[in-house]
Amino acid sequence: MEPILNFIADTGFYQFFQAGGWKNLVMIAIACVLLYLGVHKKYEPLLMCTIAFGMLLTNLPGANMYHEIFFAGGHIHWDLIGGAPITQEFLTEMAGMGVAEEVLTSVAVGQSISAGLVDILYLGIKLGIYPCLIFMGVGAMTDFGPLIANPKSLLLGAAAQLGIFMTYVGCRLSGMFSPAQAGSIGIIGGADGPTAIFVTTHLAPELLGPIAVAAYSYMALVPVIQPPIMKLLTTKEERQIVMKPLREVSKTEKIVFPIMVAIFVSLLVPSAAPLIICLMLGNLFRESGVMDRLSKTAQNELINIVTIFLGVSVGSTATAATFLSPKTLMILVMGIVAFGFGTAGGVILAKIMNLFLKEKINPLIGSAGVSAVPMAARVSQMVGQKENPRNFLLMHAMGPNVAGVIGSAIAAGVLMSLFG
């Protein structure tokens, strides 16, 4: 009879009825909702579904695929991953660093833990590998021609980063977050999931799950969030402005551009170098004309494989102990603030620029400065064409859009330099 009772006690079903088991049920329900949004509503499905499935895995009692204790306090505890027993001194130190009590009580002094599948995959997040490889794929898929043809759009991409810094201020004023945590939440306003993950793993790894879910959820909702703000800040006449076609960009310009940007940004903000260099390397694969195999691999096999590992790993950090808290709700609220100010920043700067330009620009393209490529540019095109069917803003909006990718990486480097 005793073996049967032991078997029952080891099942996940039994553990749902233990203290705190209801939280796992709540997290599983949230994961199922996210899966529904990814599959049925098609909200960023490639990452929404993998993140949701990682969240599902980590909240199944007894699965033991991810152990928060290995990464407690924001550090990789290689000795524990290698099988070293947990000591009382270690638990005391982690408690002093503010690690959640539920994480500490989930282990016992003298216990040795075998690393699970997600523990190993998550090392790619902690070491900054996956976001950089994602950026390489993004670079290989991105045409910087519209930005090169209209350098003024770089300013619009920079202005759209207003959401990052306004959100940082809001988080600090709330009193709920440290400077490093506020910086990590603010980067949601860059509308760039890999950048948000990269910054958060360095500054506030304990918030990675909520921030990643917020970043990708709001990226998927760009067509819902942006249009009301764009219309509020512009007049009908401004939305009807027709812009002249962009000049043709030479192949030499397209080859020189990623090299020069990689050098300049890496010297200006060394903390952003890993992201920028990978982004520009991927773009060089695309534009050089002699690395087609590498370009196709970066655009397809590489980015697809890394997306799977990244999504599952990030989702697995959304445990009940860290996700179900007032801070998570605040992160979701501030994410909306970040996107709103980012959209407004680009539109307002475009309106200011029109005061001095002979050839007016349509302020709607300023909203594309958030780096949700190419979704934000498509929203600018959609809103503009509703006002004027002869308006074709897509290529004009791609300039601020790709500038936003560079701008968010630079903003990430600044935050990491200040608070890292």
Phi/psi of residue 211, each to 5°?
-65, -40
Structure tokens at 117: 């599948």
Structure tokens at 354: 């029109």
d(CA 195, CA 33): 25
- Looking at the fold, whether 283 and 176 belong to one and the same domain comes out as yes
Q: What is the pLDDT of residues 160-173, one digit of tens each?
A: 999 999 999 999 99
Domain boundary among 116, 133, 150: 116
- Looking at the fold, whether 176 and 70 belong to one and the same domain comes out as no
- Are 313 and 169 in contact by the 8 Å Cβ rule? The answer is no
Strand ranges, E, within 237-334: none
What's the pLDDT score for residue 413?
92
- Looking at the fold, whether 88 and 184 belong to one and the same domain comes out as no
What's the pLDDT score for residue 231?
94
- Looking at the fold, whether 200 and 59 belong to one and the same domain comes out as no
d(CA 234, CA 44): 28
- Looking at the fold, whether 196 and 80 belong to one and the same domain comes out as no
Phi/psi of residue 221, each to 5°?
-95, 10
| 234 — pLDDT class (breaks 50, 70, 90) | very high
Query: Which residues have CB under 8 Å from 334's CB, separation 6+?
Result: 167, 170, 171, 185, 186, 188
Domain that holds residue 367: 125-419
What's the pLDDT score for residue 319?
85
d(CA 51, CA 196): 14
What's the pLDDT score for residue 189?
86
Structure tokens at 9: 């006690």
| 52 — pLDDT class (breaks 50, 70, 90) | very high
d(CA 99, CA 103): 7
Peptide bond into 245 cis (omega under 30): no
Residue scoring higher pLDDT (13 or 309): 309
Structure tokens at 185: 């939440």
Least trusted range by pLDDT, from 96-100, 162-166, 380-384, 389-393: 96-100
Structure tokens at 75: 């550090």
Handedness of CA 317, 319, 321, 322 (dihedral sign): positive
- Looking at the fold, whether 196 and 269 belong to one and the same domain comes out as yes
- Are 28 and 60 in contact by the 8 Å Cβ rule? The answer is yes
Domain boundary among 63, 83, 116: 116
How many helices, marked H, and strands, marked E, lie in the chain?
25, 0
| 20 — pLDDT class (breaks 50, 70, 90) | low
- Looking at the fold, whether 109 and 43 belong to one and the same domain comes out as yes
Structure tokens at 35: 């899966």
Structure tokens at 382: 């959609």
- Looking at the fold, whether 89 and 149 belong to one and the same domain comes out as no
Torsion region of 128: left, alpha or beta (phi above 0 gives left; psi -120 to 50 gives alpha)? left
pLDDT value at 12 more than 90: no
Least trusted range by pLDDT, from 17-21, 42-46, 236-240, 378-382: 17-21
- Looking at the fold, whether 154 and 292 belong to one and the same domain comes out as yes
d(CA 123, CA 71): 9
Question: For the chain, what is the domain count?
Answer: 2
- Looking at the fold, whether 107 and 145 belong to one and the same domain comes out as no
Q: What is the pLDDT of residues 114-162, one digit of tens each?
A: 888 889 999 999 899 999 999 999 999 999 999 999 999 999 999 999 9
- Are 168 and 185 in contact by the 8 Å Cβ rule? The answer is yes
SS3 11: coil
Cα–chain center distance at 117: 23
- Are 409 and 276 in contact by the 8 Å Cβ rule? The answer is yes
Peptide bond into 374 cis (omega under 30): yes
Q: What is the pLDDT of residues 311-338, one digit of tens each?
A: 999 888 888 877 888 888 899 899 888 9
Other beta carbons less than 10 A from residue 37's beta carbon: 19
Domain boundary among 91, 116, 141: 116
Residue whose tokens read 């005391």: 92
- Are 296 and 151 in contact by the 8 Å Cβ rule? The answer is no
For the residues 90-94, what does the mean pLDDT come to? 89
- Looking at the fold, whether 30 and 132 belong to one and the same domain comes out as no
What's the pLDDT score for residue 344?
94
Strand ranges, E, within 237-364: none
Query: Which residues have CB under 8 Å from 128's CB, separation 6+?
Result: 198, 201, 202, 274
What's the pLDDT score for residue 100?
76
What's the pLDDT score for residue 19?
62
- Looking at the fold, whether 245 and 385 belong to one and the same domain comes out as yes
